[in-house]
Each structure stands twice: as structure tokens, then as C-alpha cells.
Amino acid sequence: MAKKPRSQRYRKEVENSSKKMDDNAADYLSDTHTIVSLVSDTGTNISFSGNDDGWNIDNGDEYNEGPDDNALKNAEMRQQRLNDILKSVDDFCSEKRSSKRESLLRQWFRGFTQYATNYSSKEAIRSKLDDIVQACQCGIKSRSGLPAEQYAACRVLEGVGILLGDEEYFEMIYDPILKRLVQSNHRAVKVRVAALRAIGISVYIGVEDEVITEQMMDLCEALAQVEYRGNSVPSFLRAAALEVWTLLSTTINDLFIAGQDDVSTGRGLMLLPLLLTCLEQEDAPELRSAAGECVAYIHTARLQLGDDGNNDNKWKQGSWEKSDFEEIMAEIEQCFVDLSTQSGHYMSKRAKKEQRATFREYLGTIQDNSSPFLKVQFQGGSLELNCWKDIVALNFIRRALQSAFQIQLFTNPTLQTIFGVDANVLNSANSQYSQLEKRLFLSKTSEASKAKDLDRTNKRRNRTNAKNQFLAND
């Protein structure tokens, strides 16, 4: 029989691939999918800088409140662009194409996080909040919607939760929208993870009711198990559940996390056996890291309880001796030791380096009771954090906002309160350079940046030559 032309074979492969994606939508969205890149309707590629802490956007927009003459004009331009984005909210549900709806949701996320830098812009978003939530619900529940659209809708809700989060907003998005999405086993894993993180940040930012916090932690503990409602839980969702659990645990009393008496036992202590099994799972590095961070915070919470002077107390400050959990903590510590020195060819060199560094820090916390240290560099200054409570919040919020993190840190009073920074100091440090000076001295294409890159290249070459010197001697 004659072979079919290449065009017909290719068309059939595409049709079979599309049918497979429709039959199993949960496998369609890649775990590396993100919202930071965007292709507009006109075909112009609009993307954020590769660094999550970047200021500049590739199409020329720049957050700048420096002493240049265009500061007021730039603020008005951002407000106008935000208003243009808000006008598209009304027509969202009438749009039939899923790709178009996804593009709009990406623009909303970018506009809300990048342009909402003052009170008037946030109030403009608040005035359209009901329509925004309804549009995101439409994107999630649409029968023609793809997982990429559902993911973008969850990310928009997550970003708005940081900007305007309160208990009323949590009630708007939790039960009718995101709770069912998280619990739906047939949805894409990345979509369920984004929905869970949106719920977590809305509770962390805007909910003060401990009952709601406890209920969310119950959900996270259930999702962190190997099985949930008779179905196996993907490792990425389990890792996200542990991250949200750790974030929410920073808002409640340490006694409820790591305390133990004749009446009750802390939630974190009951979670230790599960965390040990997560640390022993070889094929899920993201789950291991989330479990290690959770253990580090539980140990810190126990450390904060201290010794109340009672000789019959089951723990001392910084010690698990004579407690019911001494043995399991010893096993966890040994896992940390193994992971901090692990080697092998089944992992990339970069992944091994990151894992070793991460678990060395966790190991220092539970072995030596040492405080972690993280320094975040940004234009005009830096932010230094030395406790797990702040570091957990930083990692979660920075991952949620991505390239808009620094913008919101400079303008969002809620984030400034969380990290204990002074808005006046931040803005004064940022205003010491004009827009032109930032481009000349601080951008990645500046002469200073090029000189630093050249110096690193020369040092790397010298190290390589030194290692290979024995070849020349022979």
C-alpha cells in the first residue's frame, strides 16, 4: 500500500494529539507553566524579566518614583492602563474563545500587580471586584475552557488577594469557586495547586478568624496525604499543601503547633510522621523541600515555647529529649544529613547544589538552633530576614507576585507590615537615583553590570585552567 503524504500524516498526528488532550485535560498543563509570559493579540511578545525580583518589563514599562520630571506622568500612565484593563472585565464572560480569555486574565494579573501602586488604583479594582471574581469563576467553570485559562484565573484571584484581601473576599472565592476546584481530581495538577495557593494567601492576608485558619490547615493536612478521597495525590499538590500549611501556621500560637500536654498535642507534632515519609520520597524534590521547611518551622515554634520552670516538663528549650517525638525527630535529622550531602547521577548538578544548600540550612536549625538568614537585594537597598516566619512568608508572596514583588513591597502597606519595613526608608532609598541613572548604573546592560560579568568570566577561566594544570605538566 502506498505511503500517505507527509501533510496527511502530520494532520492525523495533530488530530490524535488534540483528542488525547481533550480526553485527559489533567495531563495537558505542564508543571512548568507560568503566568509571567504573555503574547498579546497583536503578536507582540510581552514578558517579564527572568529574575523574579526584576523591576523592568520588556515593553518599556518601569516602576519609577524617582525625582525625574516624568514621575507624575508615569503614575498617570499606569493609572490609565489599569483603567483600560478594568474596562475589559465587563466583556469577559461573553468571549467564546478560551485562548482570548486566557490572554485577558494574564493582562489582568500583570495590570493588577504592576499598576496598582496607590490608593486610587486599588479602589478602582475594588469597585470592580464582584465582576472580577465572577469573570474568574466563568473562566474556571467554562466548558470550553482549557487548563491554562483556569490556571490564569486562579492566579488573578491570588494576586487580588494580596492587594485587597479581607475576610469578605475570602468568602467570595473559597466555597463557590476554589474549594471544589482543589478537591476535583480530574482537574490539572497545576490548576489545583494555583487554587490552593490562592486560598492560602487570602486567609493569610485578610482572615483573622482562627476557626477559618484551622479549617484551612485541616484541608492542607488532608491534601498532603498519599491519598485524598480515594485517589492518589500528586507530589506537586502535596508540596503546595505543606507550603500553605506552614504559611498559615505562622499566624497561630506556637503552643498549638509544637506544644504538648495531657489534654492536647500540637498540630505540627502530629504531622511529623507524614513529613518523614515525604522526606524519604526520592522522586519528588519539591515535596522534600516543602516538608523540610515545615519541620524547620515546627522546631522553631517548639523552641519559642521554652522551659516554664516545671521539672516535669517534657521538653527543654531547643531539645526534643524525653518527649514522645524524640525518636522520629532523630530520623528526620538523619534524613536532613543525607539530603545535605547527597550525590548521584540521577540529579542534575544544579539540583544537587540547591538541595544540599537548602537542607544544610534546615539541618542547622534543628541541630544547632541557629537562625536562618536571607538577604533580598533590590534597587536602593536590601531586606534582611533572620527567622523562619518571615522567610516562609517571603518565599510564598514572592512566588505569588513574581516580578511585581518589589513594586508591591514599596507601595503595599500590608507587605510592609508583614516584613517590618519602613515605607519612608524604602522610598527614600529608591529615590536617590533618577530614571536615567537607574538605566546607566543599575540595569543589566549597564557598564558596571558588564564589567562584573567579565570579571566573573575571567575568574571562572582561571579556576578551570588551574584544575587542568596537570595536563600541561605531563
- pLDDT one-digit tens code per residue, 166-198: 889 999 999 878 999 999 888 899 999 999 999
Given a cut of 90, is residue 152 above it in pLDDT?
yes
Question: What confidence category does residue 450 fall into, taking pLDDT thresholds of 50, 70 and 90?
Answer: confident
pLDDT for position 395 = 93
Q: In this structure, are residues 278 and 290 in contact, taking their beta carbons and an 8 Å threshold?
A: yes
Question: What confidence category does residue 426 fall into, taking pLDDT thresholds of 50, 70 and 90?
Answer: low
pLDDT for position 48 = 29
Q: In this structure, are residues 390 and 357 in contact, taking their beta carbons and an 8 Å threshold?
A: no
Cell of 473: 605538566
pLDDT for position 2 = 59
- pLDDT one-digit tens code per residue, 25-54: 444 677 778 887 543 333 333 332 333 333
Top mean-pLDDT range of 265-279, 344-358, 451-465:
265-279
pLDDT for position 379 = 65
Given a cut of 50, is residue 67 above it in pLDDT?
no
Mean per-residue pLDDT for 98-110? Answer: 91
pLDDT for position 40 = 38
Q: Is 220 left (phi over 0), alpha (psi -120 to 50) or beta?
A: alpha
Cell of 436: 536615567
- pLDDT one-digit tens code per residue, 427-447: 655 555 566 666 666 677 777
- pLDDT one-digit tens code per residue, 355-393: 899 999 999 999 888 888 888 877 667 788 889 999 999
pLDDT for position 71 = 63
Cα distances (angstroms) measured from residue 271 to each of 328, 421, 474: 11, 33, 58
Mean per-residue pLDDT for 105-110? Answer: 93
pLDDT for position 8 = 54
Question: What confidence category does residue 474 fall into, taking pLDDT thresholds of 50, 70 and 90?
Answer: low
pLDDT for position 104 = 92
pLDDT for position 56 = 34
pLDDT for position 429 = 54
- pLDDT one-digit tens code per residue, 303-337: 888 755 444 444 444 578 878 888 999 999 999 99
pLDDT for position 232 = 93
pTM for the whole thing?
A: 0.80
Cα distances (angstroms) measured from residue 181 to each of 18, 177, 251: 23, 7, 25
Mean per-residue pLDDT for 123-142? Answer: 91
Percent of the chain with pLDDT over 70: 77
- pLDDT one-digit tens code per residue, 236-264: 999 999 999 999 999 999 889 988 877 88
Given a cut of 80, is residue 81 above it in pLDDT?
yes
In our burial notation (b when 16+ CB lie closer than 10 A, e otherwise), range 33-45 reads bebbebeeeeeee
Fold of 209-369: 1.25.40
Given a cut of 60, is residue 120 above it in pLDDT?
yes
The mean pLDDT of the chain is 80
Q: In this structure, are residues 159 and 113 in contact, taking their beta carbons and an 8 Å threshold?
A: yes
CB atoms within 10 A of CB 291: 30
List, by residue range, all CATH 1.25.40 domains of the chain: 209-369
The SS3 of residue 180 is helix
Mean per-residue pLDDT for 201-208? Answer: 93
Mean per-residue pLDDT for 288-312? Answer: 81
Given a cut of 70, is residue 80 above it in pLDDT?
yes
Which of 359 and 11 is assigned the larger pLDDT? 359
Given a cut of 60, is residue 62 above it in pLDDT?
no
Mean per-residue pLDDT for 92-104? Answer: 89
pLDDT for position 78 = 84
Given a cut of 60, is residue 59 above it in pLDDT?
no
- pLDDT one-digit tens code per residue, 227-238: 998 899 999 999
Q: In this structure, are residues 362 and 295 in contact, taking their beta carbons and an 8 Å threshold?
A: yes
With a CB cutoff of 8 Å and minimum separation 6, the contacts of 290 are 238, 239, 240, 242, 243, 246, 278
pLDDT for position 5 = 61
Given a cut of 70, is residue 70 above it in pLDDT?
no
Q: How many contiguous H segments (helices) and E segments (strands) does the chain have?
A: 23, 6
Given a cut of 80, is residue 202 above it in pLDDT?
yes
What is the spatial distance between Cα 406 and Cα 398, in angstroms, rounded to a whole number?
9
Top mean-pLDDT range of 7-16, 118-127, 376-385, 436-445:
118-127
